[in-house]
Amino acid sequence: MDSSNSRITSETTPLVPSKKPKTPLPKLQIGILMTLQLVEPIASMSIFPYINQLIRDLGITGGDDAAVGYYAGIIESLFFLAQTLTVLRWSRLSDHIGRKPVLLVGLSGSCISMLCFGLSTTFWGLVVSRCMCGVLNGNVSVMTTMVGELTDSTNMAQGFALIPIMWCIGGFIGPLIGGTLARPQDNWPRLFAHPFWSKYPYFLPCAAAACGLLVGFFVLLFFLEETLSTKRRPKLTATTLNISNGPNSNDREGLSQTPNMPVRSLLTPTTIIPIANYAMLALLDIAFMALLPLFFSTPTYLGGLGFAPSYIGLWMAIFAIADGIFQALFFAKIVDWIGPKRLFCVAVSCFAPIMLMFPIMSWLVHTRGVIDYTIAFALISQLVLTVIWDMAYGVVYMFITASAPAKNVLGAVNGLSQTSASLARVIGPAFATSLFAFSKEYNILNGNAVYVVFIMLGGALRWLGSQLPDHIQDRDE
């Protein structure tokens, strides 16, 4: 009897493992990395409040407001098209020469391209500057890889929670800069009286974003330390010290020295499923981000809200800062509470009601004939749903990082994921804005066909989320 009880105890005890104490995050290095994560979205998001007005100012639509969406979508997609072609190469290069040199090139490329964007007076000038930015920029993938190298299984949720927070803060500052500083001669005619500002009315927000990237470049150059094991200095952080002195240190060192695997060998269900979820998430998210300012700027007679660029920038900034505060305070706690897979499925389920808010607001404006408190309530409801939706990013980063079969291919795995996401982001803005314009121009489903299509795609993402593993693999074992 005693032996039976002891056998039962020994069999059931592993089912309730003792919880590991959390490793403190390496605050200085994570803080520097998050500074770099901040300046990137400031630059990329700063163009959204004025891009539609810029297209109109170029005169390429022939005065057709409904056609603005076609050209805006092309401009927004070009960066991701160029990035799709190069991001995997940058990520693989970072596995060989280190993360830091690749990040320096990326920040330089973004800075130069933003200045060129502000100085462009033709559609093709905008095209070249956005392509330049995408070709020279593999930073998102490399920075995600570095977060994975600076964390372990006990603090991964905290580390990856910071990435969407920085994007949210950048999403707050970027639109605010773009909406406030665009066309400065209109707002501050005495201060910006020089003819330069009438010739280049959108240079000021681009220059402000470029200054942020320049600051990030020097912070990276002088303070960020390498995380690639074969290139870094010994004793990088307290976290890596704990890892190197741990009971499995020999195994980890052996893992990091494993010969580089070919990319094709990484294409297993373990990595493909998280990458597919990330790609679909990126497609829907960038489509929403392209539709939001387009819907705001579209005249009310076409089913939009007719907001000015400054008001669009303000509202997008409110969206972003509310999102960032929520992620900072609650993301890691919610992951611990309900688990990563369940949180991902709950988050992506919010996309359908997010899309429904657009036709609801159009109907309210058409019915009431004025923008009043009902529109404000609908916007706030959409904001709440968006905050929940954005938690999916932190979770999917965790799944992707845990899917890497070895540490020395973490950059390659993140490169594959970013390539897939970038390709989705190529399709997303052009597809969303073109479908929006097509729906409005031909009055398909009363102009709401675009939302129906994306609600169906949201259902596809919910199914993909159900295919994720129930638990994230412990990378420390």
Q: What is the model's pLDDT at position 261?
A: 63
pLDDT per residue as tens digits for the range 427-438 = 887 788 888 888
Please, which pLDDT band fits residue 114 given cuts at 50, 70 and 90?
very high
Residue 241: inside a domain: no
Count: domains in the chain: 1
CB atoms closer than 10 angstroms to residue 105: 15
The residue to which tokens 């920029």 are assigned: 137
**Two tokens, residue 375:** 């529109």
Rg (Cα) of the chain, in Å, rounded? 23
Rounded Cα distance, 350 and 437, in Å: 24
pLDDT per residue as tens digits for the range 15-58 = 334 456 777 888 888 888 888 888 888 888 888 788 888 888 88
Residue 12: inside a domain: no
Structural domain containing residue 145? 26-228+262-466
Instruction: Say if residue 66's pLDDT is above 90.
Output: no
Rounded Cα distance, 147 and 398, in Å: 10
Residue 386: inside a domain: yes
Please, which pLDDT band fits residue 252 given cuts at 50, 70 and 90?
very low
3-state secondary structure 321-373: HHHHHHHHHHHHHHHHHHCHHHHHHHHHCCHHHHHHHHHHHHHHHHHHCCCCH
Please, which pLDDT band fits residue 244 given cuts at 50, 70 and 90?
very low
The residue to which tokens 């912070």 are assigned: 219
- How confident is the model over 260-280, as a mean pLDDT? 82
Q: What is the model's pLDDT at position 227?
A: 81
Q: Which of 30, 276, 327 lies closest to 152 in space, CA to CA? A: 30
Q: What is the model's pLDDT at position 457?
A: 94
Burial class of residue 196 in the structure, from the number of CB atoms within 10 Å of its CB (0-12 exposed, 13-18 middle, 19+ buried): exposed
Q: What is the model's pLDDT at position 147?
A: 85
More confident residue, 400 or 61: 400
- The answer to whether the Cα torsion of 354, 50, 123, 45 is positive or negative is negative
Q: What is the model's pLDDT at position 356?
A: 92
Residue 2: inside a domain: no
pLDDT per residue as tens digits for the range 345-363 = 999 999 999 999 998 988 8
Q: What is the model's pLDDT at position 174?
A: 85
More confident residue, 74 or 106: 106
Q: What is the model's pLDDT at position 104?
A: 92
Please, which pLDDT band fits residue 142 given cuts at 50, 70 and 90?
confident
Rounded Cα distance, 152 and 175, in Å: 34
Residue 19: inside a domain: no
Whichever domain contains 274, its CATH number is 1.20.1250.20
More confident residue, 348 or 313: 348
Fill in the DSSP letter of residue 159.
Answer: H
Average pLDDT across the chain, whole number:
80
pLDDT per residue as tens digits for the range 449-466 = 889 999 999 999 999 999
Rounded Cα distance, 141 and 103, in Å: 10
Q: What is the model's pLDDT at position 8?
A: 40
Residue 21: inside a domain: no
Rounded Cα distance, 110 and 170, in Å: 15
Residues of the chain with pLDDT > 90, as a percent, come to 17
Instruction: Say if residue 130's pLDDT is above 50.
Output: yes
Burial class of residue 195 in the structure, from the number of CB atoms within 10 Å of its CB (0-12 exposed, 13-18 middle, 19+ buried): exposed
pLDDT per residue as tens digits for the range 188-216 = 888 888 889 988 999 999 999 999 999 99
Instruction: Say if residue 5's pLDDT is above 80.
Output: no
Q: What is the model's pLDDT at position 314?
A: 78
Residue 248: inside a domain: no
461 contacts: CB under 8 Å, gap ≥ 6: 277, 280, 281, 284, 348, 351
Lowest model confidence (mean pLDDT) among 41-50, 103-112, 117-126, 177-186:
41-50
Residues of the chain with pLDDT > 70, as a percent, come to 85
Q: What is the model's pLDDT at position 12?
A: 39
**Two tokens, residue 12:** 């059931």
Instruction: Say if residue 284's pLDDT is above 90.
Output: yes
Q: What is the model's pLDDT at position 232?
A: 64
- Which amino acid makes up residue 228? L
Task: Give me the half-sphere count of Cα atoms (radius 13 Å) on the Cβ side of residue 169.
Answer: 14
Residue 331: inside a domain: yes
Instruction: Say if residue 253's pLDDT is above 90.
Output: no
Rounded Cα distance, 138 and 246, in Å: 33
Rounded Cα distance, 44 and 133, in Å: 10
Highest mean predicted confidence (pLDDT) among 247-251, 394-398, 410-414: 394-398
Q: Which of 461, 175, 148 lies closest to 319 in space, CA to CA? A: 175
